[in-house]
């Protein structure tokens, strides 16, 4: 599937308590409890970054169209382009996984405030 910003937006905004905002001029950032779980740019070609499990980071970075995310690799974030050739289901799985990983790092108090 050829991913684009609008489809990625729809995937992210279906998740509970997600907010979106534009940062750094041209990046669309998706957050849960003020913590980023997915970032994309309005620039072409399409690319998106998100957090992956520590044990999946190296393996994913060996695939075409996947690189360690600039500035965020140490936190186990990857950047994907359409060259990665993911299906919509694979994109959804990765985005939901990133959301879950980031949500799990929120304080118990914040999770209670958000009702998640």
The partner residues of 27 in beta bridges, in order of sequence, read: 23, 41
Output the CATH code of domain 5-110: 3.90.1150.30
pLDDT at 116: 85
Please give the average per-residue pLDDT across 16-31, as a whole number: 95
Give backbone dihedrals phi and psi of 68, rounded to 5 degrees, phi first: -60, 135
Distance CA 63, CA 78 (A): 11
Name the pLDDT band for 36 (thresholds 50, 70, 90): very high
List Cβ neighbours of 89 (8 Å cut-off, separation of 6 or more): none
Joined tokens for residue 105: 């790092």
d(CA 29, CA 63): 24
């Amino acid at each position: 599937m050829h991913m684009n910003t609008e489809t990625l937006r729809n995937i992210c905004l279906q998740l509970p308590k997600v907010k979106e905002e534009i940062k750094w001029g041209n990046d669309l950032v998706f957050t849960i409890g003020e913590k980023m779980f997915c970032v994309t740019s309005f620039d072409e070609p399409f690319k998106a970054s998100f957090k992956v499990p520590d044990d999946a980071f190296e393996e994913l970075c060996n695939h075409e169209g996947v690189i360690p995310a600039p500035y965020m690799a140490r936190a186990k974030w990857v950047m994907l382009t359409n060259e990665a050739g993911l299906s919509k289901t694979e994109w959804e799985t990765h985005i939901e996984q990133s959301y879950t990983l980031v949500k799990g790092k929120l304080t118990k108090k914040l999770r209670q405030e958000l009702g998640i």
